[in-house]
Amino acid sequence: MAHEVIDRIEELGPQLKGLAEENERLGRLSERTVALMRSAGVMRLLQPAKFGGHSVHPRDFAEAVMALARHDGAAGWVAGVVGVHPWEVGQMDPRLAQEIWGENQDTWIASPYMPNGIAEPVEGGYVLNGRWPFSSGTDHCDWVFLGALVGDSKGRPAMPVKVLHVVLPRSDYEIIDDSWDVIGLSGTGSKDVVVSGAFIPEYRTVDQEDIKSGAAAERNGATETVHKLPFTTMFPLGITAAVIGICEGALEAHLALQRDRVAVTGVQVRDDPYALYATGEATAEIEACRVQLIDGVSRLYDRLDAGETVSVADRTRIRRNQVRCAWRAVAALDEIFARSGGNVIRRDNPIQRLWRDAHVGLQHMIHVPGATYHADSLAQMGLEVPAPMQALI
């Protein structure tokens, strides 16, 4: 089924590409883009089969996100973020999945997971308050995942700190329309959402540690191998796949531009060995990033499928390579952008939009290299990785 989804994305590619500029202008995905994405089925790839999904290998999900991002960076980004949420719902109380997809299996779920809210315990659940930025694709979603700190009776974080992932229907939160004015990935519509005193039943919540450890999946009978993968592998996967796909799209546009371009010297670029050397090197780098990202999650999947355990060192290695793939791909894009000529800066040239989208993609917290590289170095030396440093591992 995954190959059918990718084939459908490629079939729709010219239309998706043609809508990218409109999406940027709107500051969100257009209704037409969303309709095309729904028809391709990309958001159902990690959705439970019981609710019209396909529960595919994570490699297939990453490749579909890359294919979409190559045509429109914003659409690919939304698919990479929103598309992983069905994977988590599949590990939670089955009542939640029934609520979300019981009547419409094409329902989308937004996020973000950062614990910007306080969830105060009450009888039967929690009362939530807070404001969260960066809710990608939120205009087209009917539910949202939010991160929250369990609070005390005074609205402050309780000690010890406990982080929940909570899920709310669209009627329980507000989207702030003027909160997304950015230089790249504008079409993602990653607006702020606000919650004021919403009640959340216990079954619509899950302890973040239970998702990270796999305890939630085991408790709720999600036995497929894909549900044994760490959250800190799956969530970054879609985002980094989008960044690599954006770089692939820029490379494709660069090659089309260079084919017949004549430099100011009067020399055709295709006859300039220095320009072609840089293009060849960038092409190899971007392709290597694709291969390494997919190889990492595939190796982890195979180990879990064989019943093996995953160590901290295994997880840090995956995260290290995932972060590095994003940075290497964007560095390669910088090389070809610098050699695309003066016309590349014109707003009607898609390369400049993809270049901006890729750089904004690096700003996501899962692409910050410092702590990830530090943790991996400790793990590979057989040393203990401090607990705070394992938060995103």
User: Domains of the chain: which residue ranges?
Assistant: 2-106, 109-207, 229-390
> Residue 249: phi, psi to the nearest 5?
-65, -40
For residue 264, what pLDDT is reported? 63
For residue 227, what pLDDT is reported? 95
For residue 391, what pLDDT is reported? 86
Tokens coding 188: 């993602």
For residue 268, what pLDDT is reported? 80
Inform me whether the pLDDT recorded for 269 exceeds 80.
no
More confident: 269 or 193: 193
pTM for the full predicted model: 0.96
The CATH number of the domain covering residues in 229-390: 1.20.140.10
For residue 154, what pLDDT is reported? 79
Residue 168 and residue 200 in contact, taking contact as beta carbons nearer than 8 Å: yes
Distance CA 240, CA 117 (A): 26
In this structure, which topology does domain 109-207 adopt according to CATH? Butyryl-CoA Dehydrogenase, subunit A; domain 2 (2.40.110)
For residue 271, what pLDDT is reported? 73
Tokens coding 169: 């229907």
Cis status, amide bond into 160, omega within 30 of 0 = yes
The CATH number of the domain covering residues in 2-106: 1.10.540.10
Question: Residue 275: pLDDT band by 50, 70, 90 thresholds?
Answer: confident
